[in-house]
A and B are shown apart, each in its own frame.
Chain A
Amino acid sequence: MKNKNIFLVVFLLGGSSLLANGEPTAADAIFTINNTWMLVAAFLVFIMHLGFATLESGLTQAKNTVNILFKNVSIIAIGILTYALCGFNLMYPGDFNGFFGFSGLGISTGAEGLTPAYNPGYTYWTDFIFQAMFAATAATIVSGAVAERIKLSSFLVFSTIYVALVYPIVGSWTWGGGWLADKNFHDFAGSTLVHSVGGWAALVGAYTLGPRLGKYSKNGEIKPIMGHNMPLATIGVFLLWFGWYGFNGGSVLSADPGAVSFVFVTTTLAAAAGVIGAMGTSWIISKKPDLSMILNGSLAGLVGITAGADCISPMYSVVVGLIAGVIVVLAVIQLDKMKIDDPVGAISVHLACGIWGTLAVGIFSPDYQLGIQAIGVGAYALFCFVSANIIFQVVKLALGLRVSEEEEILGLDIGEHDMESYAGFQIFTVE
């Protein structure tokens, strides 16, 4: 009883100390609710990293699991720290020429940053942390496509440069109020800004590295390299879906009941439709229902709706998700035919469906035009493709990109880390 009274007093004191003068108003309450939702959304996006880690682990070989996990854990650290150092201010430079601006190193704010005067939806700090989680998400997309054969050091160097510079600069074009925002280009939660930005780097990485040993034989045969843990992969996908409620729901940038609840529904419908689309496509093509394909399918639907979750109707969200599910299966098969080895389907999910989702806004929403959406897709494609190529080539020259053949066969866990992920278990390192 005594504890409860003390808590109440502290809470009231604490609450009123935040407010300017006098009694709390309805506007203050709304601000608190908005800010609270945005913080919840921020940590929902955070848990997506656990989703990526488990999904990638599940879809790759056991002998490389430590390496995959190491990349995933280090990427979130690098993403957040570089965003604090320079990314946030590159992405939101304030008034700038529309292409490139920088409002200084580090993050800081005055008292105004903690009030609705900064933004009715969130404080400066909430703004930073929510956006920082997005940055880290874009960076981690690459790790799946380059898995099982990239040198750890090379990957870390590439990712640091890409997430510190490329991601926020191209992000400023739209969310930072740059030239694409002026053209009414719409990417609600990042089909282009996050998923295709990561996807282009994933594509460049995968083909610059080359395929894993034994994946494509000289006479054109494609050998599947099976993921070692389907339960982990499934856990990963459901965690990603779970986090996506924050990813899309928080992109409303407030707790507006109508907007957030609408976005929750469009997001969910698209994810579900993505599962079905992938299920049908892969079942028809392969004659057997493939779990890894429908897992990718749900993510495809989610990526597909991410650009337009706020402006595409529920019915069309289903269509967007269905088509994304079909696209992802076809993309996986096509990439294999082109001898681009993507162990987890990152390119198919994030790049292919990121592009689809962005264009879908122009197709299904009366407020935006397909032509403008296409211009945006093209602009990001050009910049990301070129910059990823440059960075990868420089890293290749300086550090080398790939591990040695012997290390790749033995497993990167032993080669890069001198450690086993499943110590005590008998795993086959080769077939």
Chain B
Amino acid sequence: MKLIIAIIQPEELPYIKEELLKREIYKFTVTNAKGQGKEFPVQEVYRGISHEITLLKKVRLEIAVNDEFVEPAVEAITKVAKKDGDKGRGKIFILPIEECVRIRTGETGSVAIG
């Protein structure tokens, strides 16, 4: 059982969702995040002053999967997110899960991940 944490550009979320669904990965959590990497800061203008924003909007996608779904999930994300250009494409972290419990039934382990 693995927990995949992906930090992605917000505008890619709908397309990544589509790719995940194609690979029969239906369960995930999405949160807003701000982050900075190597990419160039964004210029914003407010009341005559141009300033740089370095902490940029990101989306954090968390998917808990059984081992056989790790590769499809990573593939789904990179297929959409991997592009040439200045913008940072994001990162994927894969963590081992010690235990997983389905609250409704009390099931544990791979069965609970679904």
**In the complex, which residues 386-429 of chain A have their Cβ closer than 8 Å to any Cβ of chain B?**
406, 409-410, 414, 417-420, 426-429
A-B contact pairs, 22 of them (CB 8 A): A214-B14, A406-B11, A409-B11, A410-B10, A414-B42, A417-B45, A418-B43, A418-B45, A419-B45, A419-B46, A420-B44, A426-B32, A427-B32, A428-B10, A428-B32, A429-B11, A430-B10, A430-B13, A430-B14, A430-B59, A431-B13, A431-B14
Q: Kindly identify which residue among A214, A417, A429 contacts B10, using a CB–CB cutoff of 8 Å.
A: A429
What total of A-B pairs shows CB separation below 8 Å?
Answer: 29
Q: Among A428, A429, A430, which residue has the most Cβ atoms of chain B within 10 A?
A: A430
Judge if B89 is at the interface, Cβ distance under 8 Å.
Answer: no
Binding site for A on B (CB under 8 A): 10-11, 13-14, 32, 42-46, 57, 59
Q: Considering the chains assembled together, what is the distance between the CA atoms of A418 and B44 in angstroms?
A: 5
A273, B44: Cα distance in complex, Å? 46
Known A419-B45, A430-B10; further 12 A-B contacts with Cβ < 8 A: A214-B14, A410-B10, A418-B44, A418-B45, A419-B44, A420-B44, A427-B32, A428-B10, A428-B32, A429-B57, A430-B59, A431-B13
Query: Dominant SS at the B interface?
Result: strand
Nearest Cβ in chain B — how far from A423, in angstroms? 8
- Contacts of B57 on A, CB cut-off 8 Å? 429
Residues in A with CB closer than 8 Å to B13 are 430-431
A122 to chain B, nearest CB (A): 40
* Minimum CB–CB distance for B51 against chain A, Å: 10
CA of A410 to CA of B13 in the docked complex: distance in angstroms? 11
Please give the distance in Å from B26's CB to the nearest CB on chain A: 16
A426: chain B residues within 8 A (beta carbon): 32
Chain A nearest CB, measured from B83 CB (Å): 11
Q: Which residues of A contact B46 (CB under 8 A)?
A: 419
Contact check, A430 vs B45: say whether CB atoms are below 8 A apart: no
Give chain B nearest CB distance to A431 CB in angstroms. 7
Q: How far is the CB of B11 from chain A (nearest CB, A)?
A: 4
Q: Which chain B residue lies CB-closest to A405? A: B11
- Shortest CB–CB separation between residue B14 and chain A, in angstroms? 6
Taking CB as reference atom, which chain B residue is nearest A410?
A: B11
Task: Note all chain B residues with C-beta closer than 8 A to A417.
Answer: 45
Complex-state Cα separation, A410 to B58, whole angstroms: 11
Residues of chain A within 8 A (CB-CB) of B45 are 417-419
Q: Indicate if the CB atoms of A430 and B32 lie closer than 8 Å.
A: no
Contact of A430 with B43 in the complex, beta carbons under 8 Å: no
Q: How far is the CB of A416 from chain B (nearest CB, A)?
A: 11
**Which partner residue on chain B sits nearest A420 by CB separation?**
B44
Please, which residue of chain B has its CB at the minimum distance from the CB of A213? B14
